Structure 1
Amino acid sequence: MDFALTTEQELIVESTRRFVEDECMPHEPEVERQDAVPAELQRQIRAKAIENGFYAANMPEALGGGGLDTLTLTLMERELGKTNFALQALVHRPSNILRACTDAQAEHYLYPVIRGERMECVAMTEPNAGSDLRGMETTAVRDGDDWVINGTKHFISHADLADFTVLFAATGAEETPRGKRKKITTFLVDHDTPGMEVRPGYNSPCHRGYHNSILNFDDCRVPNSRVLGEIDQGFEVANTWLAPARLTVAIQSVGRAQRALALAADWAANRKQFGQPVGRFQGTSFKIADMATEIEAAEMLCLRAAWRHDQGTMTDTDAAMAKLYATEALGRVADHAVQIFGGMGLVDETPVERLWRDARLERIWDGTSEIQRHVISRAILRDYEQ
C-alpha cells in the first residue's frame, strides 16, 4: 500500500475541502435551527456539486459518473464528513446497488439518479426486525405479472427527498439445516405507486435536517420488470453492492473527528485559565494526544480497506473493523472535545455540541457496533473450527 497521494487525489481533497468550507459550513446554523435544508439551498448545493464534478463521483465514467476509485472516493468522503450531514448528503453518491439495474431499468432509475434528476432511498429496516433482515415481515406475493407488497419499513433515510425506493421484501421461505429461512427479493418502487405511503419518521437529535421516514405498503402493486437482480436473491444483490456503505460511514466519522480535534486544539491553545492556556495542563493536553492518535488509527483502517477494495481483496472484516473502530473513536473524540470546551461544548454557539450529538448515531446505522463485532469474530473463529 502506497501512502503517498497522487496529484489528482490531492486536488480532489483540496477542492472538496474548499467546497465544504465555502458552500456547506456557512449554512450549518440555519439547518440546525430549522431542522431542514431550504429548497433553494438544496438546489444551490446540488448544482454546485454537479458543476464541480462531486455528484455521483462513485459511479463509473461509462455510466456518466465521476469514476473515482474507492481510495480517492474515501478521501473525498472524509472531507464531506466534516459538515452537517443534511448538507453534505446533497452531494449525492447514489447507492451502488443501482448498478444491478438491467438496461431497461437503468434508463428509468440509474441514469437519472447519476444526472441528478432523481433520487433513491434504500429500505431494509423494519419495526419488528431491526438488523435481522431474515426476520423482515414486509412481503411481496406474485400475482400474474405483478407483485403485491404489504408491510412497513422505518428509519429510512432521506425517503422524504427520494423519488423511488430500493425495497427488500420477503418472497417465500426455504428449508435449511437451521430451519426455515425467508427468501428476499429486491424491488424498485416509485413513490407515486398506489398503495405506497411515505410518512414522517421519528424525531432524532442526530443529523438535523436529514430525516428518516416510515414507508407503508398496502397492497402496493409493482410489475415484475421492477425486480432488481434475481427473484429470491436479494441478499446476493445486497452483499454484492452494499459493502462499501460501511466504509463510507467509517471515513465520514474520521472527518468529523478531525474537525472536533481541530476545534478542541484551537480552544485549548487560546482559552486561558489560571493565567495560561488550558492546553498546557496535562488533563487537557493528554486528551488532545489521545484524540489525534485514535483518529490516525481509524483513518489507516479506512484507507487500508479502501485500497483493498480497489485491489478486489477487501473482506467484510476489513469494512467491519473500519466501521467499528472509526465510529467508536469518533464518540470518544467528540466527548473529549466537549470536556475540553467545558460548558461551551454543550451550547449550540459552537459546532462541538453538534459533532458530539451526531456522533452517537454512527455506531448504530449501517450495522451496529455489535453487528460489526459479530462479523469480525465470526471470521476469526471460523479458521479454528474443527
Structure 2
Amino acid sequence: MDFGLSEEQKLIVETTRAFVENELYPHEREVERTGVLRRELIEEIKAKAIEAGLYAANMPADVGGAGLDTVSWLLYEKELGRANYALHWTCVARPSNILLAGTPEQREKYLFPCIRGEKSDCLAMTEPGAGSDLRGMKATAVQDGDDWVLNGTKHFISHADIADFAIVFMASGEEDSPRGKRKKITAFFVDKGTKGFTVRDGYRNVSHRGYTNSILEFDDCRLPASQVLGEVHKGFDVANSWLGATRLQVGATCLGRAERALSHAIEYAAQRQQFRQQIGKFQGVSFKLADMATELKAADLMVFEAGWKYDQGTVTDQDMAMAKLKATEMLAYVADEAIQIHGGMGLMDDLPLERIWRDARVERIWEGTSEIQRHIISRALLRPFGA
C-alpha cells in the first residue's frame, strides 16, 4: 500500500475541503439552531456541488459519476464529513450504489436522474422490531398475479421526507436453514405518491440536526413486477453485494469530524493561558492531545487500508467491521476529550464541538452497531477453529 497521495487525490482533497469550508460551514449555525435544512438552501448548494464536480462523485464514470477508486472516494468522504451531516449528505448527495443493480429501464428511471440531481433516493430496511436482525423483518411482500402487495412499517428511514422514491426491503417468503425457518427478502422500488405508501414524520434526534428520519407505512401497496430490484427473494444478496462499503463511508466521515475537533483542541491548548502559561504545557492537557492524535492516526490507517484492500479485491467483512468500529469509537473519544480541554466553552454552540460530540453518538449505532461489528470480527477469528 502506497501511503502517499497521487496528484489527483491531492486535488480531490483540496477541492472538497475548499467547498466544505466555503459553501457548507457558513450554513452550519442556521441548521444546528433551527433543526431545519431549507429546500431552497438544498437546491442552492446542490447546484454549486454539481458545478464543482462533487455531486454523485461516488458513482462510476460510465454512468456519469466521478469514477473514483475506493481510496479516493474515502478521501472525498472524509473532507465532507467535517461539516454538518445534513448539509453534506443532502446537498452533496451520493446516490446509493445499490441503484447500479437495476435493469437498464430502472437505471433510466432512477439511477441517472439521481446522478443528475433531479431525483433523490432513500433506503428502507429497519423496522420497529427488526434493526440489526434484518431476517427478522415483519413487513411483507406477497405476490398477487403479476403484482406484488406490500404491507408493514419501516422506521428510522433517513431523509425519506424529501426523497422521490424508496428502495424497500420486504420479507417475501421463507426458506429452511440449519437454524430453522428464515425469511427470504426482496427489494423493491417504491415511488413517492404510490397508493398505499405513506411517509410520516419520524423521531426527534439528538444527532445530525436537519438530517431527518421518517416512518414509512405500506397498506396494500401494489407494485408491478418491474419494480423488483434484483432477483425475487435475493434482496439480501443485492444488499450484501452493493452496500458493504457503506461502513467505510461512515468511518471516513468520522475521521473528518475527529480531525476538526482535534484541530480546535490543539489551537485552544496553544492559546489558552492559566497560571501564566499555555494550558497545552500541562501534562493533563498535552497527554490528552497525544492520545487523541494517536487514536485518530490508528483509525485513519484502518479505514484507508480497508479501502485499499477493497480496490485490490482482498477486503474482508472483518476489515470493514474493524475500520467502522475503530473510527466511530475513536470519534466519540476525541470529541469528548476536545470538549474537556475547552472546559465549559466546549459545550457552547459558538464552537462546533458540542455538535460533533452529539453527532458522534449515532455513528456507533447505524450501519451496524459496535456490537454487530464486534460479532463480525470475533466470528472471523473463531471460524478457523470451528467455533
Question: TM-score normalised by the shorter chain: which range applies?
Answer: over 0.9
Structure 2 counterpart of 1:25: 25
Structure 1 counterpart of 2:3: 3
Give the secondary structure class of the aligned counterpart of 1:332: helix
Distance in 2 separating the partners of 1:25 and 1:347 = 17
Distance in 2 separating the partners of 1:83 and 1:118 = 23
Distance in 2 separating the partners of 1:362 and 1:326 = 9
Distance in 1 separating the partners of 2:265 and 2:219 = 50
Aligned counterparts, 1:191-270, within 5 A: 191-270=192-271
Q: Which amino acid aligns with 1:71?
A: V
Per-residue CA distance 1:177-225 (angstroms, 9 max, x = gap): 2110000000000011010111110001100000110000000111110
Structure 2 counterpart of 1:282: 283
Distance in 2 separating the partners of 1:55 and 1:74 = 15
Give the secondary structure class of the aligned counterpart of 2:190: strand
TM-score, scaled to structure 1 = 0.99
Structure 2 counterpart of 1:67: 67
Distance in 2 separating the partners of 1:292 and 1:241 = 33
Q: Residue 370 of structure 1: CA displacement?
A: 0.2
Per-residue CA distance 1:153-179 (angstroms, 9 max, x = gap): 000011111100000000000111211
Give the secondary structure class of the aligned counterpart of 2:307: helix
Structure 1 counterpart of 2:313: 312
Give the secondary structure class of the aligned counterpart of 2:385: coil
Q: Residue 312 of structure 1: CA displacement?
A: 1.2
Q: Residue 36 of structure 1: CA displacement?
A: 1.1
Structure 1 counterpart of 2:39: 39
Give the secondary structure class of the aligned counterpart of 2:219: strand
Give the secondary structure class of the aligned counterpart of 1:383: helix
Give the aligned CA root-mean-square deviation in angstroms. Answer: 0.8
Give the secondary structure class of the aligned counterpart of 1:149: strand
Structure 1 counterpart of 2:362: 361
Structure 1 counterpart of 2:152: 151
The answer to whether structure 1 residue 166 and structure 2 residue 154 are counterparts is no
Distance in 2 separating the partners of 1:162 and 1:286 = 46
Structure 1 stretches of at least 4 aligned residues deviating more than 3 Å after TM superposition: none
TM-score, scaled to structure 2 = 0.99
Structure 2 counterpart of 1:127: 128
Structure 2 counterpart of 1:15: 15
Q: Which amino acid aligns with 2:191?
A: D
Give the secondary structure class of the aligned counterpart of 2:138: coil
Q: Which amino acid aligns with 1:381?
A: L
Distance in 2 separating the partners of 1:296 and 1:36 = 34
Aligned counterparts, 1:135-146, within 5 A: 135-146=136-147
Per-residue CA distance 1:307-350 (angstroms, 9 max, x = gap): 11111111111110000000000000000001001001111111
Q: Which amino acid aligns with 1:354?
A: R
Q: Residue 151 of structure 1: CA displacement?
A: 0.4
Q: Residue 130 of structure 1: CA displacement?
A: 1.3
Distance in 2 separating the partners of 1:243 and 1:97 = 10
Per-residue CA distance 1:98-118 (angstroms, 9 max, x = gap): 110000111101111111110
Distance in 1 separating the partners of 2:7 and 2:144 = 55
Distance in 2 separating the partners of 1:196 and 1:334 = 40
Query: Structure 1: any 5+ residue segments left out of the alignment?
Result: none
Structure 2 counterpart of 1:85: 85
Q: Residue 66 of structure 1: CA displacement?
A: 1.0
Give the secondary structure class of the aligned counterpart of 1:13: helix
Distance in 2 separating the partners of 1:2 and 1:362 = 28
Q: Residue 2 of structure 1: CA displacement?
A: 0.6
